[in-house]
Structure 1
Amino acid sequence: MAVSNLGIIGSEEWCVFKDLGVPAIKARVDSGAKTSSIQATNIKVYSKGAEEWVKFDINPLQENRSITIECDAKLVDRRMVKSSSGISEERLVIKTAVTLGDGVFEIELTLANRDTMEFRMLLGREAINQRFMVNSAENYLIQNFTKEEIDEKYKAYFKEKTGLKIALLASNPKLYSNKRIIEAAEARGHEIVFLNVEQAYMKLDAKSPEMRYRGGAILNDFDAVIPRIKPAVTFYGCALIRQFDFLGAYCQNSAEAITQSRDKLFASQLFSKNDIQIPITGFAKSPMDTKDLIRMVNGAPLIIKLLESTQGKGVVLAETNKAAESVINAFKSVQTNILVQEFIKEANGQDIRCFVVNGKVVASMQRQAQKGEFRANIHQGGKASVVKITLEEKKLAIKAAKALRLAVAGVDIIRSNKGPLLLEVNSSPGLEGIENATGKDIANSMIVAIENKLKFSSSTVK
């Protein structure tokens, strides 16, 4: 086809899929990718006569999972596709008509989990070949929609806000976890407000206690509070949670539970008291006891852990007894409290994160440490993957969360020759790694748990 007959397309365009029931979805135009792909979850293949078909859900709007469109299409292929991270995976392929401006033509789409990508759709070169040339410096050359037009197109999918009033008490509204919780609450018709921990304050008074926010706004009418308190503001954050509790709001994790989970020594003592298996752990104050402390945990290699450590920071592997003695005494010399713990060599840098909500494990992932690292941590470059946990591991995770009285907890378990061992419990577990690894909507589980706790129905809304 002559170049003069080709249309000009921008690096971003709005696509319409009438057969799938998608009124508009923003696509990244990528001539470097052969096949087009679209964000899809809950993918299920089924038979229709002699043909294979596939059901799947699309969340068509960026940064908004509150709108879900259920789709159905004939399966035309299964194809190995290499992702942007270099990992090959099998993807299902469908064929459907796409509308771009005045043009309508069929394209192949691979169904992919694009939740971590900026765009819900990628338009590859097979779709645009002999139809368009790409002007990468421009966007929406074929068609564009205003926010008002998009709102109108998706009007039927927006739910009326007749639900609970929920406060998300945290520090950064841009974090994945916080954005997901807000999306999930809004998707279920609740009003949710982000409150920065450090901008909230309280009035202590027997007759008229109050919670206030910067500027003087009174915060006394919340049905529930979801606390996601970073370690640096644990003391102040827990004070705010107690005040919300005094005012009658349900706090998904209590101040007491969060405080216990952040005190690694006290938490370890609670685990031992409740017959929860942990790696052999030692604690001592005097340098005179260091040698016996090392022997007590079966010697080097061993783990030295700051009591206030989080997300793998402040955790050291000492490979020899001499090195362990030097590190332990160095910490003690500056009055820093540490735990000494046996090293589980057979775990091979792997651990399991179980996400517990109201006494149920709603998702589990396995984390693998980077080469040369001893601790599995996705915050420091480790890799996460879905894992099927055993009944024993599930019971351990639930029991650990219950011991700390946490309604929401990230429970870290390690597999050893002695069976599963509890590493630690996080009272503000992140959602990004485990949602991406498992495809589970954990934020929704958290909101449903609040509804169940408050026996929510439209008649109970304040």
Structure 2
Amino acid sequence: MLDKVIVGSEEWCSFPALGIPTIKARVDSGAKTSALHAINIIPFEKDGGSWVKFDINPIQNNSRAVIHCQAPLVDKRVVKSSSGFREQRYVISTNLQVGDQEWEVEVTLTNRDSMGFRMLLGREAMSGRVLVDPEQKYLLGQPTQEKLKEYYEKEGEIKRGLRIGLLASNPELYSNRRIIQAGEERGHEMHFLNLKHCYIKLDADKPEIHYRGGRVLNDFDAVIPRIRPSMTFYGCALTRHFEALKVFCLNSSSAISQSRDKLYSLQLLLNSGLDIPTTGFANSPLDTNDLINMVGGSPLIIKLLEGTQGKGVVLAETKKAAESVINAFKSLNANILVQEFIKEANGKDLRLFVVNGKVVATIQREALPGEFRANIHLGGTASVIKATREEKSIAVRAAKAMNLKVAGVDIIRSSKGPLLLEVNSSPGLEGIEGATQKDIAGEMIKAIEKNFKWK
């Protein structure tokens, strides 16, 4: 018992391995798990193991003081906060120093901007080592303001590179991790912005975008929107607000919106003189037979207009099957696209990755044996292929028609020549980087640099 550290309800502690010399903690024996404030949390692989890197503003209400940390990843755990909100958090293992004693603890990482303390010391970390006197505070002393300034506010520090935000939903996604990595390697300050944690202040004099905890996001040079289809409306609203704040967005809100509208995007492409598979559009048509004949008969593809990423897509191999599917959609009063099936493509299509008006990589995607491909990519294997001059021209023109600086353009080879299938405003990087070994994420960062003529 005499070996235990006696602490009050609030104390200053440190994390030597993380490079955090001092941080104020709320001592809470009612909380099982300890928590540390963290932003820009990104998992990565190091020496064959799982690690996580993150940034911390160790002083409350001071965003200028930033420490970049990394630690071995122990677990991902669902934690219930004091407000009753359940959140999946990363768990790290690191050494905690309290007074003159130091020991290893597990700590969860979470944004604590809305809390009064950057650190919560829970009972698991204190068990067998700490005694709490809840009537006391800072029994182990406090750093002076001069000492804090010495620790965290180095004079004369020069900002390097650009401040770039990645507006997306999942920090673990390969594409998002690679973009963060590529930006940091080129000397920029990268921030992962979970669009679900952003909210907007509409004001004529002082419009703002806030992040969970009240942090204002008005100081970014550029934003890379990578918006999942289910979050298109809200993600585009956020992107539009960044644009109003004069923040450069790699893809604009209007370009993303129109690329997500299947019918409108096809009309834009056709208006630019680009060929697509023959397509019909209807709202629960009564004249099913004419609609089928209009696209060349069976087999044919039937798509729900509101469907995303392969959902709501059916291959009808016979006229009878096509009539059954269309009649089924009629009961939903749904808008549908009916499209000719390109049989000679034999389950293959091309993905051309366009960045800033240039095709930077091309792969061929092929369905697995027995897999259904309805003129769209549903999986399978990817291999390097050389696109023809015509195919590259189509991809560049398609991105331009959609006003996209970054686009994944899908093309299918038919007996009539290359046909344009789809233009994706948030194309994935894993398949194309893995197959081509090209730094596509780096090309995206270069496109931002070009806008600022940054060196």
- TM bucket, shorter chain: 0.5 to 0.7
TM-score, normalization: structure 1? 0.64
* Per-residue deviation, residues 88-126 of structure 1 (Å, max 9, x unmatched): xxxxxxxxxxxxxxxxxxxxxxxxxxxxxxxxxxxxxxx
Question: Cα offset for 1:336?
Answer: 2.2
* Per-residue deviation, residues 214-247 of structure 1 (Å, max 9, x unmatched): 1100000101000000011100110000000000
CA–CA separation in structure 2 for the residues paired with 1:286 and 1:431 = 37
Q: Which residue of 2 aligns with 1:200?
A: 198
CA–CA separation in structure 2 for the residues paired with 1:385 and 1:357 = 20
Does the Cα contact within 8 Å between 2:283 and 2:334 map onto a contact in 1? no
Counterpart among 260, 264, 267 of residue 265 in structure 2 = 267
Q: Which residue of 2 aligns with 1:357?
A: 355
Mapping of residues 302-381 of structure 1, within 5 Å: 302-375=300-373, 380-381=378-379
CA–CA separation in structure 2 for the residues paired with 1:289 and 1:161 = 65
Q: Say if 2:412 is the partner of 1:448.
A: no
Does the Cα contact within 8 Å between 1:384 and 1:434 map onto a contact in 2? yes
Q: Say if 2:24 is the partner of 1:26.
A: no
The answer for unaligned runs of 5 or more in structure 1 is 1-24, 29-60, 65-159, 458-462
Does the Cα contact within 8 Å between 1:366 and 1:387 map onto a contact in 2? yes
Mapping of residues 37-76 of structure 1, within 5 Å: none
Does the Cα contact within 8 Å between 1:351 and 1:368 map onto a contact in 2? yes
CA–CA separation in structure 2 for the residues paired with 1:235 and 1:219 = 20
Does the Cα contact within 8 Å between 1:370 and 1:376 map onto a contact in 2? no
CA–CA separation in structure 1 for the residues paired with 2:177 and 2:216 = 24
* Per-residue deviation, residues 376-398 of structure 1 (Å, max 9, x unmatched): 89985400000101000000011
Aligned to 1:287, the other structure's residue is in SS state: coil
CA–CA separation in structure 1 for the residues paired with 2:199 and 2:354 = 30
Question: Cα offset for 1:63?
Answer: 9.1
CA–CA separation in structure 2 for the residues paired with 1:450 and 1:178 = 16
One-letter amino acid of the structure 1 residue matched with residue 271 of structure 2: K
Does the Cα contact within 8 Å between 1:163 and 1:191 map onto a contact in 2? yes
Aligned to 1:226, the other structure's residue is in SS state: strand
Does the Cα contact within 8 Å between 1:401 and 1:407 map onto a contact in 2? yes
TM-align CA RMSD: 2.3
Aligned to 1:353, the other structure's residue is in SS state: strand
CA–CA separation in structure 2 for the residues paired with 1:285 and 1:379 = 25
Question: Cα offset for 1:286?
Answer: 4.1
Q: Which residue of 2 aligns with 1:215?
A: 213
CA–CA separation in structure 2 for the residues paired with 1:409 and 1:366 = 16
CA–CA separation in structure 2 for the residues paired with 1:189 and 1:262 = 33
CA–CA separation in structure 2 for the residues paired with 1:225 and 1:446 = 11
Q: Say if 2:247 is the partner of 1:255.
A: no
One-letter amino acid of the structure 2 residue matched with residue 330 of structure 1: A
CA–CA separation in structure 2 for the residues paired with 1:244 and 1:428 = 18
Does the Cα contact within 8 Å between 1:351 and 1:376 map onto a contact in 2? no
Does the Cα contact within 8 Å between 1:173 and 1:194 map onto a contact in 2? yes
One-letter amino acid of the structure 1 residue matched with residue 421 of structure 2: L
Q: Which residue of 2 aligns with 1:229?
A: 227
Q: % of aligned pairs identical? A: 68
Check 1:380–1:265 CA distance in 2 against 1; reply closer, same or farther (3 A cut).
closer
Check 1:346–1:161 CA distance in 2 against 1; reply closer, same or farther (3 A cut).
farther
CA–CA separation in structure 1 for the residues paired with 2:376 and 2:160 = 38
Does the Cα contact within 8 Å between 1:376 and 1:382 map onto a contact in 2? no
Question: Cα offset for 1:62?
Answer: 8.3
Q: Which residue of 2 aligns with 1:409?
A: 407
Counterpart among 241, 244, 262 of residue 243 in structure 1 = 241
Q: Which residue of 1 aligns with 2:430?
A: 432
Aligned to 2:302, the other structure's residue is in SS state: strand
Q: Which residue of 2 aligns with 1:172?
A: 170
Counterpart among 384, 389, 408 of residue 387 in structure 2 = 389
CA–CA separation in structure 1 for the residues paired with 2:415 and 2:441 = 34
Check 1:425–1:27 CA distance in 2 against 1; reply closer, same or farther (3 A cut).
closer
TM-score, normalization: structure 2? 0.65
Q: Which residue of 1 aligns with 2:136?
A: none
* Per-residue deviation, residues 221-277 of structure 1 (Å, max 9, x unmatched): 101000000011100110000000000100111111011110000011111111100
Aligned to 1:415, the other structure's residue is in SS state: strand
* Per-residue deviation, residues 15-56 of structure 1 (Å, max 9, x unmatched): xxxxxxxxxx8369xxxxxxxxxxxxxxxxxxxxxxxxxxxx
Does the Cα contact within 8 Å between 2:348 and 2:365 map onto a contact in 1? yes
One-letter amino acid of the structure 2 residue matched with residue 369 of structure 1: A
* Per-residue deviation, residues 116-164 of structure 1 (Å, max 9, x unmatched): xxxxxxxxxxxxxxxxxxxxxxxxxxxxxxxxxxxxxxxxxxxx96100
Q: Which residue of 1 aligns with 2:287?
A: 289
CA–CA separation in structure 1 for the residues paired with 2:392 and 2:52 = 32
Check 1:245–1:63 CA distance in 2 against 1; reply closer, same or farther (3 A cut).
same
Question: Cα offset for 1:454?
Answer: 1.8
One-letter amino acid of the structure 2 residue matched with residue 448 of structure 1: K
Aligned to 2:427, the other structure's residue is in SS state: coil
* Per-residue deviation, residues 400-436 of structure 1 (Å, max 9, x unmatched): 1111101100000000000000000110000000100
Question: Cα offset for 1:456?
Answer: 1.8
* Per-residue deviation, residues 57-87 of structure 1 (Å, max 9, x unmatched): xxxx9899xxxxxxxxxxxxxxxxxxxxxxx
Does the Cα contact within 8 Å between 1:200 and 1:211 map onto a contact in 2? yes
Check 1:404–1:340 CA distance in 2 against 1; reply closer, same or farther (3 A cut).
same
CA–CA separation in structure 2 for the residues paired with 1:285 and 1:378 = 22
Aligned to 1:205, the other structure's residue is in SS state: coil
Counterpart among 179, 182, 185 of residue 184 in structure 1 = 182
Check 1:284–1:379 CA distance in 2 against 1; reply closer, same or farther (3 A cut).
closer
Question: Cα offset for 1:441?
Answer: 0.5
CA–CA separation in structure 2 for the residues paired with 1:27 and 1:290 = 57
CA–CA separation in structure 1 for the residues paired with 2:385 and 2:159 = 37
Aligned to 1:421, the other structure's residue is in SS state: strand
Does the Cα contact within 8 Å between 2:314 and 2:374 map onto a contact in 1? no
* Per-residue deviation, residues 286-305 of structure 1 (Å, max 9, x unmatched): 43122111000000000111
Check 1:377–1:275 CA distance in 2 against 1; reply closer, same or farther (3 A cut).
closer
The answer for unaligned runs of 5 or more in structure 2 is 1-45, 54-157
CA–CA separation in structure 2 for the residues paired with 1:27 and 1:303 = 45
